[in-house]
């Protein structure tokens, strides 16, 4: 018994009654139904689609409204009310324009405030009053509590309640109250959010997703390969930095680098303008607003300049880290610059769309003096971006390579396996690691690198890049990344990236059960929840695999993948009744939702149904609460002994 800790605890619970009251409260919470977990993955900067899914709780808001009002509201009224809950500010403005008199508007306010109060009461039915109070709009918390806990059994206070609502309206506060209650409903419908990787790259607004997550009431993140690339760049990896700029140039998103995070690209542009011309292989992939011809040419030149810097930066890492086993990726050294050919695996291929203006054929992997200065300036700018620092610190605080949560294993990519289904082994500094142990080692290196951004060429910083591209990386999950080949070689046989056996073996229930056991989870009850690889639903691929033990929730939030998947993303819901997978149609605009009330939901699939309703005591939070109860009981005994 830690008496010093108990003495400190006694300062907070300074009477026996306070200790007993808290034990009773915690015991009661353990017997409440577990809250709803909401899983999303591979958001890739698609902020608007993510916002909508978050606001409608993947259909949970609509379900609550239907349960409560199905006998009193028409389908059109339900759709309009749901849209009001999703986007209260915009919907109120539209609705108010319909009314021609103050009396009509007042009547609408009275009905809508009453409806909102009912919905909040229903959505909060499995939470304590304390938890509900924290979710309420603080300005109106007292008033809302009065309205929430009124009963119709007695009419003594009916005039009192009606007067409250009338005063809210007459004082011009009705809009604010309805908006606050809408956001309270959104918060109550989803208790906890899991982001299973890849917030960054491809889409236009990852920064806005990060701001949303920072302000979200309860969230964790399992890093994706693209997230780790950004973390690595901020931690001092120049090759990770080159990669993020290359990807932003490729997808016409350089404004994220320059405008959002304030990273000065002028030195890179000057270098690009000096050495590079137009090149069809490096023109940006365009969707949405198109750049001018001049801007497109600038992006094309920047794309070439940073790509060549990236390829040059990879070589010294490969050479100084033999444990990475990547010597076959020293491609620049296998180029015949006179003949414009490259030899890969003893086969020679012609090169096209080349941009080797800064390459010294005698020292192909050596940065020029100008390139050195450019990448150093870029790194300085990245590490001194206050906004990027805030976002990366949050990623590290809330993130991890994997998470064990309420009996499930959440991991973005894979658990590297060999052809026989055994955990693949990697030897690092004389120690061999596999499975969970290997992932723990990867995470330790990444955290060390982030804590020491002044080191730019140590093993920890190099490991951040390895997590992006290495064959034993749990985030990459392939034998090689053929970026060079895709740019410069026409023969598509060289473009193939061989997947880790995990991606075929995860269809096998026994393999999934073995992985769950390796991570200390119950294989009878647990699931593996994956992102990273878009599910080709358009071709009939099933996201629920291995008899329900494996759930892949990358359905193509990123518009770049939607032609491959045939849908616009999956989300997963896990409440006290079980798990449900939700498929989404393409989200076009908030304007379309406000106009038509379309929830962009399609198929819902039951993944797993609980035989008995799951309680808080069976969750991670329940374990923590039980530990608190045990400590408080120790405090009671300690008081008695003293």
Average pLDDT on 467-476 reads 96
- Residue 276 burial (CB count, 10 A): 21
* pLDDT at 156 (0 to 100): 59
49 part of a folded domain? no
Sequential DSSP letters for 590-607: HHHHHHH----EEEEEEE
Structure tokens belonging to residue 488: 């410069």
- Are 342 and 469 members of one domain? yes
What is the pLDDT, as a whole number, of residue 45?
93
The pLDDT of residue 583 is: 84
Any domain includes 540: no
Examine the pLDDT at 397 and tell me if it is beyond 80: yes
pLDDT category of residue 155 using cuts at 50, 70 and 90: low
**The total number of structural domains that make up the chain:** 3
Tell me, yes or no, whether 407 lies in a domain. no
pLDDT of residue 640: 57
Whether residues 331 and 432 fall in one domain: yes
Return d(Cα 219, Cα 212) in angstroms, integer: 10
Residue 566 has pLDDT above 80, yes or no: no
Strand, helix or coil at 336? strand
**Entry pTM:** 0.92
Cβ atoms of residues 464 and 234 within 8 Å: no
Tokens (6 digits) for 443: 């995470």
Are residues 348 and 469 both part of a single domain? yes
DSSP 476: T
Look at residue 605 and tell me if it is in a domain.
no
For residue 85, what pLDDT is reported?
Answer: 94
- Answer yes or no: do 287 and 160 share one domain: no
**Helix intervals (H) in 215-292:** 225-234, 238-250, 254-255, 266-275
Residues 132 and 85 in one domain: yes
The answer to whether residue 544 sits within a structural domain is no
485 pLDDT more than 90 = yes
Residue 513 lies in a domain: no
Q: Give whole-number Cα distances, 196 to 199, 223, 225, in Å.
A: 9, 7, 11
Q: Do both 174 and 279 map to the same domain?
A: no
The residue from 189, 208, 236 where one domain ends is 189
Task: Please check whether residues 157 and 244 belong to one and the same domain.
Answer: no
Q: Does residue 482 sit in the same domain as residue 438?
A: yes
Any idea which of 184-193, 339-348, 504-513, 556-565 has the lowest mean pLDDT?
556-565
Q: What is the pLDDT of residue 600?
A: 61
Same-domain pairing of 65 and 113: yes
* Interval 469-494 mean pLDDT: 95
pLDDT tens for each residue of 289-311: 788 999 999 999 999 999 999 99
Same domain, 156 and 248: no
| Contact criterion met (CB below 8 Å) for 444 and 435 | no
Averaged pLDDT, 275-282: 96
Compare 17 and 207 and report the one with higher pLDDT. 207
Instruction: Single out the residue in 488, 508, 531 at which a domain terminates.
Output: 488
Closest-CA residue to 234 (of 263, 205, 213): 263
Query: Which one has a higher pLDDT value, 345 or 566?
Result: 345
Asked, for residue 523, whether it belongs to a domain, the answer is no
Provide the pLDDT confidence category of residue 483 given band limits of 50, 70 and 90: very high
Residue 625 falls inside a structural domain: yes
- Beta carbons within 10 angstroms of residue 473's beta carbon: 26
Strands 192-195 and 347-350, by their bridges, are unpaired
Residue 374: C-alpha distances to residues 275, 464, 630 (Å): 14, 21, 58
- What is the share, in percent, of the chain residues with pLDDT greater than 90? 64
What is the distance, to the nearest Å, from the Cα of residue 637 to the centroid of all Cα atoms in its chain? 45
Greatest CA separation for the chain? 95
Residues 166 and 266 reside in one and the same domain:
no
More confident residue, 634 or 425: 425
CB 120 within 8 A of CB 185: yes
Residue 151 scores a pLDDT above 90: no
| pLDDT tops 60 at residue 642 | no
Beta strand pairing status for 550-552 and 528-530?
parallel
Structure token digits, residue 481:
């990344």
Q: Which helix (H) or strand (E) holds 127?
A: none
The tokens 């955990």 sit on which residue? Answer: 423
Q: Are residues 24 and 67 in the same domain?
A: no
State which residues form the domain around 275: 226-385+424-488
Do strands 219-222 and 192-195 pair parallel, antiparallel, or not at all (unpaired)?
parallel
Decide: 233 and 220 in contact? Cβ < 8 Å. Answer: no
């Amino acid at each position: 018994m830690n008496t010093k800790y108990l003495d400190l605890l006694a300062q907070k619970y300074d009477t026996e009654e306070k200790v007993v009251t808290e034990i009773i409260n915690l015991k009661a919470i353990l017997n409440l139904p577990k809250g709803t977990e909401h899983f999303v993955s591979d958001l890739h900067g698609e902020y608007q689609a993510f916002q909508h899914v978050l606001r409608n709780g993947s259909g949970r808001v609509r379900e609550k409204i239907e349960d409560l009002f199905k006998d009193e509201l028409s389908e059109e009224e339900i759709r309009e009310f749901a849209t009001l809950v999703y986007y209260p500010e915009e919907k109120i403005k539209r609705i108010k324009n319909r009314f021609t008199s103050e009396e009509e508007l007042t009547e609408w306010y009275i009905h809508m405030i009453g409806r909102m109060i009912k919905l909040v009461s229903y959505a909060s039915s499995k939470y304590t009053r304390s938890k509900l109070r924290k979710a309420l709009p603080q300005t109106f918390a007292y008033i809302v509590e009065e309205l929430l806990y009124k009963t119709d059994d007695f009419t003594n206070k009916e005039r009192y309640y009606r007067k409250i609502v009338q005063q809210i309206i007459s004082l011009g506060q009705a809009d604010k109250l309805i908006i606050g209650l809408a956001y309270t409903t959104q918060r109550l419908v989803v208790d906890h959010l899991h982001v299973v990787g890849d917030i960054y790259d491809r889409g236009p607004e990852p920064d806005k997703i990060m701001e949303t997550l920072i302000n979200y009431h309860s969230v964790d993140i399992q890093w994706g390969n693209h997230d780790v690339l950004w973390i690595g760049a901020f931690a001092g990896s120049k090759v990770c930095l080159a990669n993020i700029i290359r990807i932003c140039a490729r997808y016409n998103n350089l404004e994220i680098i320059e405008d959002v995070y304030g990273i000065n690209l002028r030195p890179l542009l000057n270098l690009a303008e000096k050495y590079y011309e137009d090149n069809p292989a490096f023109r940006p992939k365009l969707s949405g607003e198109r750049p001018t011809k001049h801007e497109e040419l600038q992006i094309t030149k920047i794309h070439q300049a940073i790509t060549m810097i990236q390829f040059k930066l990879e070589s010294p890492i490969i050479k100084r880290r033999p444990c990475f086993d990547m010597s076959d990726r020293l491609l620049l050294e296998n180029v015949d610059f006179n003949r414009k050919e490259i030899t890969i695996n003893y086969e020679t291929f012609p090169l096209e769309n080349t941009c080797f203006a800064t390459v010294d054929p005698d020292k192909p992997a050596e940065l020029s003096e100008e390139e050195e200065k450019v990448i150093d300036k870029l790194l300085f700018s990245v590490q001194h971006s206050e906004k990027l620092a805030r976002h990366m610190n949050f990623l590290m605080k809330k993130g991890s390579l994997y998470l064990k949560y309420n009996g499930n294993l959440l991991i973005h990519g894979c658990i590297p396996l060999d052809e026989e289904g055994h955990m693949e082994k990697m030897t690092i500094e004389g120690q061999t690691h596999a499975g969970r142990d290997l992932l723990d080692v990867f995470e330790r290196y990444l955290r060390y690198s982030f804590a020491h951004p002044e080191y730019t060429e140590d093993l920890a910083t190099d490991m951040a890049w390895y997590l992006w591209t290495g064959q034993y990386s749990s985030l990459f999950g392939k034998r090689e990344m053929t970026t060079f080949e895709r740019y410069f070689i026409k023969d598509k046989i060289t473009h193939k990236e061989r997947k880790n056996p995990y991606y075929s073996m995860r269809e096998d229930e026994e393999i999934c059960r073995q992985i769950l056991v390796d991570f200390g989870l119950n294989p009878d009850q647990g699931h593996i929840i994956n992102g990273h690889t878009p599910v080709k639903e358009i071709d009939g691929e099933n996201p629920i695999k291995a008899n329900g033990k494996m759930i892949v929730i990358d359905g193509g939030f990123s518009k770049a993948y939607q032609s491959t998947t045939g849908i616009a993303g999956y989300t997963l819901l896990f409440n006290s009744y079980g798990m449900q997978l939700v498929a989404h149609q393409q989200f076009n605009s908030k304007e379309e939702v406000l106009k038509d009330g379309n929830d962009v939901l399609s198929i819902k699939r039951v993944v797993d149904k609980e035989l008995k309703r799951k309680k808080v005591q069976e969750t991670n939070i329940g374990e923590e609460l039980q530990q608190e109860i045990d400590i408080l009981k120790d405090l009671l005994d300690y008081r008695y002994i003293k």
